[in-house]
Amino acid sequence: MKKFPWLHIILFLLTFLSTLIVGALHEGVDLLAQPSGIVKGMTFSLTLLVILLSHEFSHYYFSRMHHVDATLPYFIPAPTLFGTLGAFIKMRSPITTRNALMDIGASGPIAGFIISVIATCIGLSLSSITPLVKGSGMITLGDSLLFTGLSKLILGTLPENQDVLLHPMAFAGWIGFFVTSLNLLPIGQLDGGHISYALLGDRHHLLSKVFVPVLAILGIVLFEGWLIWAVLLLILGIKHPPVIASDIPLDSRRKALGIAALIIFILTFIPVPITVI
């Protein structure tokens, strides 16, 4: 008899609360003076949670489809700019084939990416254009190739003295792109690690060993967060466990999924995600 998933539900509710608070704060609500204003964070919170849920439950669905014992998603509430550190599932049994590994690894980022595109397009259409204001302590978000392209397509090219005030749904979509690109790094047991192992087999380890120093260099030159991420990935491990039937080749459909994931990574990667003036 399976236990009721109390921990998963509690973590999800705490993440809902933390993202709700962050969404309200981004809307300029003083929660100490006006606690009821927390409802203004609902659009941001629900949009971000739908993106994360689509990502994790795609992993879960394909894990079950390939008879891999996987947990329900664990959400991570956190007092950060986003209100969460994302979510993850744990696989408690080995993966049988590279085809199964590709399905499990690529399904999450692709599902989250699709929802993020929809959220970003709707959110940008609801965003407003304001005069560019620079001040000490101001936080600005970097843009991926895709976010920049969608902004120009929906809002047009902005003059130098103007900026976009993102609607909460667009902000959640931006986070969705950022989380997707992080997961698609071809290192260790990240989604990108699963995908690159399915494509390359044991040669995946060489790719991991190349990308970690690249992240460290980016952390020194562009954005300190990449250096922290590189150290964290080294601690977690950059090797990928082998699949059981490694001799079964990857079929053409799964290879196409791998190429699609690579294109998504290129489109969503943000060299300098956050800048504090």
Domain ranges for the chain, please list them. Answer: 6-276
On the question of pLDDT at 141 being above 90, the answer is no
Query: Which tokens hold the place of 150?
Result: 């969608």
pLDDT at 136: 55
pLDDT of residue 218: 93
- Angular region, 67: left φ>0, alpha ψ -120 to 50, beta rest: left
- Flag whether pLDDT at 35 surpasses 60: yes
Q: Which helix (H) or strand (E) holds 129?
A: strand 128-131
43 φ/ψ angles, rounded to the nearest 5 degrees: -60, -50
Maximum CA extent, the chain: 63
d(CA 68, CA 57): 14
Residues 6+ apart with CB under 8 A from 93: 68, 69
Banded model confidence at residue 277, pLDDT cuts 50, 70, 90 = low
| Torsion, CA 54, CA 58, CA 64, CA 65, rounded to 10 | 140
pLDDT digits (tens, 9 = 90+) for 44-97: 999 999 999 999 999 999 999 999 999 999 999 998 889 999 999 998 899 999
Q: What percentage of residues in the chain have a pLDDT greater than 90?
A: 68
Query: Within 13 Å and on the Cβ side, how many CA atoms surround 188?
Result: 15
Distances (CA, A) of 10 to 1, 13, 14, 28, 76: 21, 5, 6, 27, 10
Average pLDDT in the 236-244 region?
A: 87
What phi and psi, each to the nearest 5 degrees, are found at residue 95? -90, 135
Segment 21-46 mean pLDDT? 92
> What is the C-alpha separation between 231 and 174, in angstroms, rounded?
25
Average pLDDT, the chain: 91
Residue 138 scores a pLDDT above 80: no
Q: How far is CA 199 from the centre of its chain?
A: 21
Residue 246's pLDDT band (cuts 50, 70, 90): confident
Two structure tokens written together for 42: 């609902």
Res. 137 pLDDT band, cuts 50 70 90: low
